[in-house]
A and B are shown apart, each in its own frame.
Chain A
């Protein structure tokens, strides 16, 4: 019996489900191919993602020079392993997960513990907050806005790595909880817990209720 004849005998709902599944597979394949093309061009990849990755790693480690070095490693690793990219998530999420693994690896080393104490190239949160575009109406409001941004940045440095990562990925990278879970390699509920604890700390230190 021919395949077409088999399909014709199937109930309409089953046939529709099969079509939908095939379409999903085709879509996933297409998105993977598109992502692989994007990953092949290392120059475009670096240009498109380096700023966001640098910000993410800088907030994770609190050290600008170290962050630049890790972002460079992240691109090398991503390009070398681009054939392992399955297309289940966006390239941005995948790159962030590689960067986070590098950050975790680095934090485990003795070298990091030593340099954390020295912190010669520690990022100045005031400098970051000073980059705020002057959209506020008056100089006083601008100053207040910068001070609040600086305060949030300073509070983030006191959080644990998981809490900080969840916070930064949610509010800076604007990822949804599913993507954050993929990036952090954790269940969504664990991510929610880290995120809630981070928000609670920020809220309490910013003068809200405890």
Chain B
């Protein structure tokens, strides 16, 4: 009977199913301590094996079959994926630019003032002329401005400005 207990290497070999070491085998057959140790660890490992497989089978349902799109995308060669990426980027950029142009066309009228028409200008001119005439009648009587001398013209302008203020 060999009373030197199993070394770590012998223990590992026997636990992993390697029984080629005859000396170690003979020792295990005769040593209750090593037998017990091997049985305890072997049972614990086996129990963990069963428990973990049961656990994994319950949890594995969350792993779904990958979709065809994902599979095809991943099986595409590198240059193909790059080309597809560039094309998608181009399409997205084009769509974005087109959208921006449309929104600019839509928003422009809200920020611009329409140009006055000829009728509107003529109407404004008539209004201004009538005002001017009325003021002239009130201040200067019937004397035309062109007939006044320098001092009279100054007085005439001052009177007009006072009235207009």
The interface of chain A, by Cβ under 8 A from chain B, is 42-43, 46, 50-52, 54-55, 58-59, 64, 68, 71-72, 75-77, 79-80, 127-133, 145-146, 148-149, 151-153, 170-172, 177, 195-196, 199-200, 202-203, 206, 208-209
Contacts and interface: CB of A to CB of B under 8 A. Distances in A.
9 contacts: A79-B75, A145-B44, A148-B40, A148-B44, A149-B48, A199-B8, A199-B15, A208-B37, A209-B5
B41 interface: yes
Interface in B49-99: 49-60, 62-66, 70-71, 74-75
Contacts of B48: 128-129, 149, 152-153, 172
A67 to B, nearest CB: 9
B8 A200 contact: yes
Given A42-B65, A72-B63, 17 more contacts: A46-B65, A55-B55, A68-B62, A72-B64, A76-B74, A131-B58, A133-B50, A145-B44, A145-B47, A149-B51, A151-B44, A152-B48, A171-B16, A199-B15, A203-B11, A206-B41, A208-B37
B54 A54 contact: no
Contact of A128 (B5, B52, B66, B74): B52
Contacts of A58: 56
A199 B63 contact: no
B155 interface: no
Contacts of B59: 51, 54, 64, 68
Interface string B26-52: 000000000001001101110111111
A127 B40 CA distance: 21
Interface residues of B, number: 36
A43 B65 CA distance: 6
Nearest to A129: B51
Interface in B78-134: none
B44 A46 contact: no
Contacts, number: 127
B145 interface: no
B41 A202 contact: yes
A76 B71 contact: yes
Contacts of A64: 59
B54 A131 contact: yes
B51 A130 contact: yes
B71 A171 contact: no
Contact of B70 (A76, A151, A203): A76
Contacts of B148: none
Nearest to B62: A68
Contact of B12 (A75, A77, A131, A195): A195
Contacts of B71: 42, 76, 79-80
B9 interface: yes
Contacts of A79: 66, 71, 74-75
A199 B11 contact: yes
A171 B51 CA distance: 13
Contacts of B50: 132-133
B12 A196 contact: yes
A195 B11 CA distance: 11
Given A50-B63, A55-B56, A203 B49 contact: no
Contact of B49 (A50, A72, A171, A208): A171
B41 A131 contact: no
A79 to B, nearest CB: 6
Given A50-B63, A51-B57, A203-B37, A149 B8 contact: no
